[in-house]
Homo-oligomer: A and B are copies of this chain.
Amino acid sequence: METAVETARVWIGGEWQDADTAAVFQAENPSTGEKLAPQFPVSRWSDCEKALAAAAEAARAMEEAAPERIAAFLEAYALGLASAADTLASTAQEETGLPFTPRLKEVELPRTIDQLRQAARAAREGTWRRVTIDRQRNLRSCLGPIGPVVILGPNNFPFAFNAVSGGDFAAAVAAGNPVIAKAHPLHPRTSQLLAEEAARALAGSGLPAAAVQMLYHVEPETGLKLVSDRRVGAVAFTGGKAGGLALKRAADAAGKPIYLEMSSLNPVVFLPEGMKENGSRWVGELAESCTAGVGQFCTRPNLVFLFGGEAAEQFLGDLASAFEKREPTQPMLSGAVWEQLDQSIAKLRKAGAELVSGGKKLPGEGYRYANTLLRLSGKQFLEEPETFQHEAFGNEVLAVTVRNEDELVQSLEHLEGNLTASVYSSAKGGDEAIYRQVAPVLRRRSGRMLNDKMPTGVAVSPAMNHGGPYPATGHPGFTAVGIPTSIARFTALQCYDNVREERLPRVLQAADQAT
């Protein structure tokens, strides 16, 4: 007789409740293929309805809460995460196959904790509010909370972008908004542990019980209904393009601001003089950036441009060797991610890209894939620029060898919006003329421009832009990383015209301004 597998409860209105369950699912260990307990529910609409009603109520109380309470909650939560580091990292490792150390415990979790603390500081200091006062006209404005924020997290950062602990979460809460988190189904147990820490921190905070809520999963139609509900203030999504665009259509039709991080090839351009001088160093940097975390970063380089010729052949040969030496021991996040990478590579090859190395699933346990290098001429790229901008999420890179500067510029002019664009060039000035042609073209097609540096690694700095033109995101004016800037996504501009002093929010009162 089989023991019934327990089904986890959703966190709604401050209570861990039995879900209104449409179906159940289990996470899987991608290193072994084994199913992990417990079962998690796919929620029906009634769970969303309850969460929305509670969030709408909580929004009002949050709006009136002292910034100190919000900051204290975020800090208590950060502290809780730090205490639970081992359990969190080992659970996340089981569910995602990402390394316990350094990645999960020493890099991603500390980053997540730091984000929560930076958000707490921003909440306390009010640096995100952009207070503007026109005394002569008795007119004041500031940014204020936008209302309940629905966050849908990605598969590739179980902590730092998790809907219930990551950058979107920290930013939404810092602005005084309740959050309805939709966990990613690849790491439900990690999300549950995070939410339990959030619940502990929330209990003592004086904030409303529904300030944070979490569902594990919903069916696609339910998700579309959720993000377009009238009680929602804004939506944040990190993930694939197809899902992102479906949510965007629903939210747009309902007039709900939606911030999406959907796809990016992160082009890297290697200029010819520098290539002669530093090609061998550049190979090492590119190999590292393409293969770190099995290439499962939004900012991994998926498309590189270099000038055809002897130096390029040397570079590509060295890159293939470096890829082969770095055969991944770490699996991909899931069987689906693994399959999708394989299919993407097949699609690029079918369209005419030549396989230089890799291009196959690796034998043995775990969803491992060989580091893959494809190549293509600039002429081929220009014939089908859309086809060759197909994102292959994982440890793959497509190198385009161009004949000359014109072909390079023409190719870059076909690029869609990206999170980043990098240019490597001679330190001695030999590439300046080309740089001046290339830089403006890349500038208009990327959120963050880099020189002599790979795009992986996104510092949590006020000067960061983790955003970019469509379809990398839905709006080029906002960043998902960097505090206080990222907070602006979850705010409304609130103006007070001739409003009596004692009725103004504290941040706009004269006494506050004088200090």
**Which residues of A are in contact with B by a Cβ distance under 8 Å?**
59-60, 63-64, 132-134, 137, 139-141, 143-144, 146-147, 248-249, 252-257, 417, 420, 435, 439-440, 443-444, 447-453, 455, 459, 461-465, 467, 469-471, 474-479, 485, 488, 491-500, 503
Residue among A146, A249, A255, A435 with the most chain B CB within 10 A?
A: A255
The answer to whether B440 and A60 have CB atoms under 8 Å apart is: yes
A-B contact pairs, 15 of them (CB 8 A): A60-B440, A63-B443, A134-B462, A134-B464, A139-B459, A139-B463, A139-B464, A141-B463, A255-B471, A449-B499, A450-B498, A450-B499, A451-B498, A452-B498, A476-B493
Q: Shortest Cβ distance from A464 into chain B, in angstroms?
A: 6
Asked, given contacts A252-B248, A450-B499, whether A443 binds B137 with beta carbons under 8 Å apart, the answer is: no
Q: Shortest Cβ distance from A58 into chain B, in angstroms?
A: 13
Q: Shortest Cβ distance from A435 into chain B, in angstroms?
A: 7
The answer to whether A140 and B463 have CB atoms under 8 Å apart is: yes
Q: What are the residues of chain B within 8 A of A257 when measuring CB–CB?
A: 475-477
The answer to whether B255 and A470 have CB atoms under 8 Å apart is: yes
Q: Shortest Cβ distance from A365 into chain B, in angstroms?
A: 38
Instruction: Tell me which of B143, B256, B449, B495 contacts A497 (CB under 8 A).
Output: B449
The answer to whether B494 and A453 have CB atoms under 8 Å apart is: no
Cα(A276)–Cα(B478), bound, Å = 48
Cα(A448)–Cα(B144), bound, Å = 12
Q: Shortest Cβ distance from A69 into chain B, in angstroms?
A: 17
The answer to whether A141 and B465 have CB atoms under 8 Å apart is: yes
Cα(A147)–Cα(B417), bound, Å = 13
Cα(A141)–Cα(B499), bound, Å = 35
Asked, given contacts A451-B503, A453-B497, A497-B449, whether A134 binds B474 with beta carbons under 8 Å apart, the answer is: no
Q: What are the residues of chain B within 8 A of A497 when measuring CB–CB?
A: 420, 448-451, 453, 455
Q: What are the residues of chain B within 8 A of A448 when measuring CB–CB?
A: 495-497
The answer to whether B493 and A478 have CB atoms under 8 Å apart is: yes
The answer to whether B471 and A494 have CB atoms under 8 Å apart is: no
Cα(A440)–Cα(B65), bound, Å = 13
Q: What are the residues of chain B within 8 A of A495 when measuring CB–CB?
A: 447-449, 463-465, 479
Instruction: Tell me which of B143, B147, B503 contacts A444 (CB under 8 A).
Output: B147
- Sorted nearest first, the 9 A-B pairs with minimum C-beta distance are A255-B470, A465-B495, A476-B492, A134-B463, A252-B252, A448-B495, A139-B463, A453-B498, A132-B463
